[in-house]
Structure 1
Amino acid sequence: MATPLDPEMFDPLCPSDLSPFRFGDKWGGMVIRCLEGGPRRFSELRVPLRGVSAKALTASLRRLEASGLVRRSEQPGPPRRVEYALTALGRSMLGPIEAVCAWNREHWDELLDAREGVAHPD
């Protein structure tokens, strides 16, 4: 059994739409980060992604699956068990995502100021 995901994995004050980079959709990069440690069930993903609706998370998972980044597997029998895991292609996204996260941390104040219309000298 995998270690539970940290409910505080993503800062709720950190709007993902502030980043100029996207991995699939608004939630795609965060879903990939959640799957970094191994397969997860939908309900497990909802813990750190508490700001996403079930409908939006389902759509994001489907897009990631259609792109070949995530694999959905279903184990038969009662109860039915569905898990999502990164494919090798999805795992190859972890490095670029970490680079984007580092860039976002370095330029966070500038991104916030730009959003608020504050000019910065170049």
Structure 2
Amino acid sequence: MTSTSGPAPASNLDPAIAARLKRGPDGLVPAIAQQYDTGEVLMLGWMDDEALHRTLTTGRCTYWSRSRREYWVKGDTSGHVQQVRSVALDCDADTVLVKVDQTGAACHTGDRTCFDADVLPLAPSQ
């Protein structure tokens, strides 16, 4: 399912879960993908209610692409699949943590994670 105007307002997401979510003005929540066994933070994507529903029911991470304005399932074109092991909301219900078993690179650049290529320097301790 794709959309040209933004995430779909209607969803099959459990109403009890939908009622708890605190979405941004665009209807999205950040979704952090983390390797389930090592704790490695892999990437950040965006989900609306339908993407979260698909993630919970298919066992594969589904995100909303803000640039392409459509749903995408991680690994459908790259083969770098994210098999879902667990899904949790943070204490404010405004961020989703998806623990996955990542096959191959998580980052679109081909890196294992989106957070290992540009580590920023810290000021020296005083």
TM-score, normalising length from structure 1? Answer: 0.27
| Larger fraction in helix | 1
| Larger fraction in strand | 2
Look at both structures and tell me which one has the larger radius of gyration over its CA atoms.
1
TM-score, normalising length from structure 2? Answer: 0.26
